[in-house]
Amino acid sequence: MLEEFFLGILGGTLSGITPALHVNTLATLLHDISKADFNFVFLIYIMGLTHTFLDAIPSTFLGIPEEETSLSVLPAHRLVHQGKGLEVINIAITASTLALIFALPLLPLYLKLAPLYKPEFGKLFVLILSLFLILTERGIKKIHALLIFMLSGALGLMVDALPLKEPYFHIFVGLFGVPALIVGMENRKFEVGEGEIEISRWRILKFSFLGTLLGALASLLPTFTSSQAALMGSFLSKDERSFLTIAFSVNTANYFFSMGNFYLTGRTRNGILALIRESYPILSEREFLILIFGSFCAAALINLYGLSLGRGIGKALTGVDYRKLNISILSAVFMLSFYFDGIFGILTLIAAASVGYTAIELGVKRTNCMGVLMLRILIN
């Protein structure tokens, strides 16, 4: 099992730091070549958890987000341009670790709540969140926010009708990544920084706890995703660092609680758990405890090397001309888009980027672009 633990850490690290390589993709490859036993469950669970700690690295330095990190890409990018890139990575690792620590005592309460879930809750939650998102804009921006919400929502619906294998790559990279890269071309400063977190310990604890609660909620309600939970967090935070703390802790807490939900109800809330259910549908109590223990061991290990890894990657990018870097990344994004889904992928990416960039131009919160998921939930 020790072997699986380290392989999980290695796989999660690889998928975490590689832009556009989702952990589910890697896990699916492993699923096809592995035996369906608990060792495999342990391996891909640790891999998924490690991914939640480290997926901040590409979204921070390169601006290529996944669905879970789509909202953090902008504040993270802002901090990168202030020479605080490594601080973002530090926040990600710290908030993720704290999410695990806070989640443990909350787990018994969560296990009591999980079986009470009804599908209507999720829809209601998304509706409230959508209204909140639009109505918190000021003046005419309420109309602009509604426009962006509807355009994004329409994008989500249109994409359904297209033969896309990786629709979320085109959507989220288009809505959040490409506009950030375009805007970022004007900014030539790229410094990794020292990595010291510049908010008080009390605030990081407070927002990590809040993120843990939101992550728990996201794991309960399937329509309520990590990014939407982070979106809720954006209403409660006033600065980039607080928001990032919430967003990163939501991500890890959601993953951890989803495993608890699966253990108790058999429901799967992410791709990793769906793969686990296929080959190993029921976890025993002992196996559940092993996964919890493994989570803390993985967190401890990632804390040892995560920041150094981030620093290494950041420094490697420091010497590169930022404008050229952004153009290279944009080119890579377009190539990946084409690789995944050909011309349909490119078209979707351009349409999504257009909506994302319009949001910037209209001066509304980019979180309104989450209409891409929310409108579909509300309609269906």
Partner 1 sequence: MVSKRKVVLVLLSLMLLVSLKIIGENVEPREVKNATKGDIIEFNGLCVYSRGEFSVLSNGSIILKIPRALEEGEIYTIRGKLLDGEENFVHPLNITRSSPGFSMETLNGAYWEEGSKCYIFKDGERIRLNRCIEVQKGYLVEMKGIFYGDTFYIVGFEPKGRLEEPRDGYPLFVEGVVLYNRTFLTLWNGREEIKVYPPYGISAPLGARLQVLGIARLHSTLTIYVNSPEDIKIVRMAEKKPIGRESVGDITFGNCQIISASTYLRLNCTHLKLYNGKGKIGDILKFEALRRKSSLYCLKCTIIRRREALENSICTPKKGIVKIEGKVSWVKVYKNGFGLANITDGKCWVLLKLRKSLNLSLEQNQSISAFGKFTRYRGMPAFEIASRDDICLKNSSWGSSEGH
* Residues at the interface with partner 1 (CB under 8 A): 119, 147, 151, 154-155, 158-167, 341, 344, 347-348, 350-351, 354-355, 357-358, 361-362
CB of 69 to partner 1, least distance (A): 22
Q: How far apart are CA 375 and CA 291, in angstroms?
A: 35
Q: Which is nearer to partner 1, 210 or 359 (CB)?
A: 359
Q: Which is nearer to partner 1, 189 or 281 (CB)?
A: 281
CB of 152 to partner 1, least distance (A): 9
Write the DSSP assignment of 324-338 as a string of letters: HHHHHHHHHHHHHHH
Q: Which is nearer to partner 1, 270 or 295 (CB)?
A: 270
Q: Which is nearer to partner 1, 1 or 127 (CB)?
A: 127
Q: Which is nearer to partner 1, 280 or 357 (CB)?
A: 357
CB of 36 to partner 1, least distance (A): 14
Q: Which is nearer to partner 1, 109 or 162 (CB)?
A: 162
Q: Greatest CA separation found in the chain? A: 58
CB of 155 to partner 1, least distance (A): 6
CB of 190 to partner 1, least distance (A): 27
The one-letter code for the residue type at 205 is L
CB of 221 to partner 1, least distance (A): 15
CB of 102 to partner 1, least distance (A): 33
> How many other CB atoms are found less than 10 A from the CB of residue 358?
17
Contact criterion met (CB below 8 Å) for 332 and 325: no
Q: How far apart are CA 295 and CA 259, in angstroms?
A: 11
Strand, helix or coil for residue 177? helix
Q: Which is nearer to partner 1, 14 or 360 (CB)?
A: 360
Strand, helix or coil for residue 221? coil
Q: Could you give the residue ranges of the DSSP H alpha helices within the chain? A: 2-17, 23-33, 38-54, 56-61, 73-81, 85-113, 119-135, 141-160, 167-172, 178-184, 201-220, 226-236, 240-265, 271-279, 285-318, 322-362, 371-379
Contact criterion met (CB below 8 Å) for 314 and 97: no
Contact criterion met (CB below 8 Å) for 172 and 356: no
